[in-house]
Amino acid sequence: MGFGLAGYRRLGNEEDECGSGAARCVSPLAGTAGMWFAQHVDPTVPANIAQYVELDGDLDLEVLRESSAHAALETGSGFLRFIEVDAHPYQLVDPTLEAPLGYVDLRAEDDPRQAALEWMREDRSRPVDVLRDRLIAATVLRIGEARYFWYNRVHHLALDGFAAATFMTRIAELYTAAVEGAEASPNRASDLRKVYDVEMDYRDSKRFVGDREYWAGQIEASRNRRAWPTARQRLRPSAASTAPP
C-alpha cells in the first residue's frame, strides 16, 4: 500500500507515460473526475478520509507493512496516482512505488494518547497535492509498551469511506493469516481495472441509453410540474377549521 508521506516521482515526459492510447492509463470515471476538478477549484481543502484502530498486544511492523502492500496490489488503490496532460487527468496503478509504513513513537510524551490524537488530527487536516503526494498513507503510532494506533489517511480520489474501511479490514485479514501461519481468504473486492471495465460496458449498453432518456425526462417534467407548497402554506389553517363551533 502507498503508506507514508513520500511523494510521487515526477515523470520526465507525462505524455509518454499517459498519452492517448497508453495501456496503463485511463481517464477517471465520472465521480472521480468530479472530485478531481473540485479539488482543483480549491486545493487547500483537505478531501481526506481518516480512521484508526487501537491495537493492544504485540505488533509485527514488517508483517503489517507486507500485508498492507499485498492488499494495495489486490485492488490497485494503494498504488494509484494521477497525471495531468493538457489539463486532462489520467489515473494509473503504479506498483513500482514504494510501500513504507510510517512509525511514530510517542511513549515519551506526557500524554501519549492525546499526542497521538493530535498528530492524526493534524495529518488528516493537511491538504494533499494530488499530483505529488501519495493518496493513501498509513502510520503506526506507539502510545504504550504494547499499545498502538494504526492510522490510515486516504484521499477521496482513491477510496470512499466504505471502501477505506473495507481496505483496512482486508489488511487485517492478511496480517492475521500471516502471523498465524494460515492461508488468507480470497479477496472479494474488485480491482480498479474491473471497476473501470464494468463502467465502460454500462456506458456502451442500451441500458445506459434508456437510463439517460428516463432521467432527462424526469428533469424536464420537474420543470413543468406545479411547485410544491411551502411548509407555511401547508400548515396555514383554513377559515372553516378556525371558526368557532
Look up residue 112 and give its DSSP letter: H
Instruction: Clarify whether residues 125 and 206 are in a common domain.
Output: no
Instruction: Clarify whether residues 126 and 176 are in a common domain.
Output: yes
Q: Residue 56's pLDDT is what?
A: 96
Amino acid letter, 85: V
If you search the block for the grid coordinates 497508453, which residue do you land on? 22
Give the pLDDT band (50/70/90) at residue 240: very low
Summarised one tens digit per residue, pLDDT across range 164-220 is: 999 999 999 999 999 999 999 988 887 888 888 888 889 899 999 999 999 999 988
Distance CA 100, CA 138 (A): 8
Return the percentage of the chain with pLDDT > 90, whole number. 52
Judge residue 65's burial from the number of C-beta atoms within 10 Å of its C-beta, 0-12 exposed, 13-18 middle, 19 or more buried: buried
Instruction: Clarify whether residues 143 and 185 are in a common domain.
Output: yes
In the predicted model, what is the mean pLDDT of residues 223-235?
60
CATH number for the domain that contains residue 76: 3.30.559.10
In the predicted model, what is the mean pLDDT of residues 101-116?
97
Residue 67 has pLDDT above 50, yes or no: yes
Instruction: Clarify whether residues 86 and 159 are in a common domain.
Output: yes
Q: Residue 179's pLDDT is what?
A: 95
Q: Is residue 1 part of a domain?
A: no
Q: Residue 233's pLDDT is what?
A: 53
Neighbours of 167 (CB within 10 A): 25
Q: Residue 227's pLDDT is what?
A: 58
If you search the block for the grid coordinates 494506533, which residue do you land on? 149
Instruction: Clarify whether residues 43 and 89 are in a common domain.
Output: yes
Cβ atoms of residues 114 and 123 within 8 Å: no
Q: Residue 22's pLDDT is what?
A: 42
If you search the block for the grid coordinates 498486544, which residue do you land on? 57
Instruction: Clarify whether residues 167 and 197 are in a common domain.
Output: no
Instruction: Clarify whether residues 113 and 132 are in a common domain.
Output: yes
Which DSSP string do the residues of 36-68 spell out, in sequence order?
A: HHHHHH-TTS--EEEEEEEEES---HHHHHHHH
In the predicted model, what is the mean pLDDT of residues 21-48?
83
Q: Is residue 234 part of a domain?
A: no
Instruction: Tell me whether strands 102-105 and 88-93 are parallel, antiparallel or unpaired.
Output: unpaired
Task: Spell 91-102 as b/e; 16+ CB within 10 A means b.
Answer: bbbbeebebbbb
- Stated as kind and residue range, the H or E segment containing 149 is strand 147-155
Distance CA 71, CA 216 (A): 40
Residue 118 has pLDDT above 70, yes or no: yes
- pLDDT, greater one: 229 or 206: 206
Residue 231 has pLDDT above 80, yes or no: no
Q: Residue 87's pLDDT is what?
A: 84
Return the percentage of the chain with pLDDT > 70, whole number. 82
